Amino acid sequence: MLSGVKTPESLQACHIIPVKNNGTDHFSNGIILRADLHILYDKGHIRIYENGNITLSKYLSNDPYYSKNIPSKIEIPKYVNLEALRLRNKYMM
């Protein structure tokens, strides 16, 4: 889990491949993120790779909160389409 938060009201379903890039609403094209992380993921400040590695943009790497509280690796849920993660990162969606 990227944030460790389990409070449903603060979590959102996030498209891996955005709908504007022909991403589907199928659950395999989604990952659950805390609301602020969802925004940062959509803006490209957080990258999640197929192997679970996480990278932060320079902007977030310089932020005292995010740089210390976002793990460098997570376990990718089994339902997630790994090819979608690869494509999102390859094409910087």
Q: What global pTM score does this model have?
A: 0.94
What pLDDT digit, counting tens, does each position of 38-87 carry? 999 999 999 999 999 999 999 999 999 999 999 999 999 999 999 999 99
Q: Provide the token pair at 83.
A: 């090819």
Strands 30-34 and 11-15: antiparallel
Residue with tokens 């909160």: 65
DSSP state, 51?
T
Model confidence band, residue 3 (pLDDT cutoffs 50, 70, 90): confident
Q: Where are the domains of the chain?
A: 8-90
Q: Provide the token pair at 13.
A: 């379903």
